[in-house]
Amino acid sequence: MQLTLADATDLAIRALSRAGMTAENARITADHLVDAALCGHEYSSLPRVIALAEAMRDKPPATAIRVIRENHCSALIDGGDNVAYVVSIHAIDKAVEIARKNGVAVVCANNTWFSGRLAYYVERAARQGFIAMHTTNTTARVAPHGGVDRLMGTNPFAIAFPGEDDPLIIDIGTSQTTWGDVVLARTKGEPLPEGMAVNPAGYPTTDPDEALEGAILPWGGPRGSGLALAVQLLGILAGSDLVIDDISNYGLFFMVIDPRLFMPSDQFPARVSAFRQVIAANRPLAASGGAVRVPGDSSQQKRRANREKGVINLDEKVYAKLCELAGK
């Protein structure tokens, strides 16, 4: 089914507010979720409201987001147990503020949970002319390469570079699938693709319930597992626990760089856009059947097309659950 952007945003805000989120935080989160839908990322769009509402059921009211330490090039933020959809906006904006004055910034945040699409935050900085990198560790749901016990989160990594038009954004997970994808598959009553997860006994499974009880596997074998470990350690640097057993205290890491430290203001974005064109002109594989694309281009193209239509797609089962949460 389809919803207008206004109706989708309103539905998300109603459901999140009824679950205990403040009106301002519900609006920030809803904007993020609707943007994910526009970009074609079903698992990280409105279905996330269901998981957020479930998580808030067992949480006390959040407190204020506070900068507890800051100097000329860094800051540490206490998220006040607010959802990271909101804390991450505070953190990336603080990083941009510092980098605008001093050229580079590292900002960490903790006491927060559920981070959403990392591309959303680094794009926010890149559209202001900055290079931005962001990682976060998450609830332990992923086994290390060669293991079956959950020790790491799905631990995404994102980096964005400013261009003359759209930023060039790379946003990857370090697991075979995301927790949100598994939950969405369960909600829709669909199996997982093979090779994504193991059950609690360590055997391969395509059952979402077994995967949620067992472990998701790392992406890229030892390489993806190694990158996940690096993200885990940056989260620990930000103040999270060694292994996060519940939905709390993620460690958010942000780094923002002003390219003008190294070259004239318009030169780097021009080179980014030029390199994007070089990639697009690269000869495609004979079997690919299409042009070579830069990571992130598909999401940006879908966003533009869906904005023109003014609607997003939503699974009917998910819509029914959201209406229930919103009291409609």
Tens of pLDDT, residue by residue over 30-66, are 999 999 999 999 888 999 999 999 999 988 999 999 9
In a domain, 287, yes or no: no
What are the start-end ranges of the E strands in the chain?
A: 2-4, 66-70, 74-83, 104-113, 131-136, 157-161, 168-172, 197-198, 204-205, 215-216, 252-257, 311-313
Q: Return the percentage of the chain with pLDDT > 90, whole number.
A: 88
pLDDT of residue 166: 94
End residue of a domain, out of 217, 245, 273: 217
204-205 β-sheet, strand order:
204-205, 197-198, 215-216
In a domain, 267, yes or no: no
pLDDT of residue 42: 85
Mean pLDDT in residue range 148-170: 96
- The total number of structural domains in the chain stands at 3
Say if residue 7 is in the same domain as residue 72. Answer: no
Tens of pLDDT, residue by residue over 262-311, are 999 889 999 999 999 999 899 888 777 788 889 999 999 999 999 999 99
**Among the listed ranges 7-11, 238-242, 293-297, which one has the minimum average pLDDT value?**
293-297
The one-letter code for the residue type at 31 is D
Higher pLDDT, 286 or 326: 326
CATH of the domain at 186: 3.30.60.50
Tokens of 281: 């002109």
In a domain, 288, yes or no: no
Residue 224 has pLDDT above 90, yes or no: yes
- CB-based contacts of 295, cutoff 8 Å, min separation 6: 168, 169, 170, 171, 172
Say if residue 305 is in the same domain as residue 227. Answer: no
In a domain, 86, yes or no: yes
CATH of the domain at 156: 3.30.1370.60
Res. 98 pLDDT band, cuts 50 70 90: very high
Q: Return the percentage of the chain with pLDDT > 70, whole number.
A: 100
pLDDT of residue 188: 86
Say if residue 139 is in the same domain as residue 242. Answer: yes
In a domain, 285, yes or no: no
In a domain, 271, yes or no: no
In a domain, 232, yes or no: yes
Say if residue 84 is in the same domain as residue 153. Answer: yes
Cα 204 from Cα 23, distance rounded (Å): 42
Say if residue 109 is in the same domain as residue 237. Answer: yes
Mean pLDDT in residue range 146-172: 95
Instruction: Give the max Cα distance, the chain.
Output: 57
Say if residue 114 is in the same domain as residue 164. Answer: yes
Say if residue 225 is in the same domain as residue 157. Answer: yes
Nearest to 22 by CA among 50, 58, 67, 64: 64
**Among the listed ranges 41-45, 86-90, 171-175, 238-242, which one has the minimum average pLDDT value?**
41-45
Angle, helices 118-126 vs 84-102, to 10°: value is 30
Say if residue 213 is in the same domain as residue 234. Answer: no
Say if residue 83 is in the same domain as residue 15. Answer: no
pLDDT of residue 290: 80
Say if residue 53 is in the same domain as residue 155. Answer: no
**Among the listed ranges 209-218, 228-237, 268-277, 283-292, which one has the minimum average pLDDT value?**
283-292
Tens of pLDDT, residue by residue over 68-83, are 999 999 999 999 999 9
Tokens of 191: 């199996």
Q: Using only C-alpha atoms, what is the Rg of the chain?
A: 20
In a domain, 241, yes or no: yes
CATH of the domain at 28: 1.10.1530.10
Q: Mean of the per-residue pLDDT values for the chain?
A: 94
Cα 238 from Cα 230, distance rounded (Å): 13
Res. 160 pLDDT band, cuts 50 70 90: very high
Say if residue 52 is in the same domain as residue 8. Answer: yes
What is the pTM assigned to this prediction?
0.93
pLDDT of residue 16: 98
Q: What is the distance between the terminal CA atoms of the chain, rounded to a whole angstrom? A: 17
Residue 100 has pLDDT above 80, yes or no: yes
Its domain, for residue 41, covers 2-58+301-326
- Cβ burial 34-65 (10 Å sphere, 16+ → b, else e): bbbbbbbbbbbbbbbbbbbbebbeeeeebeeb
Say if residue 73 is in the same domain as residue 182. Answer: no
Residue 202 has pLDDT above 90, yes or no: yes
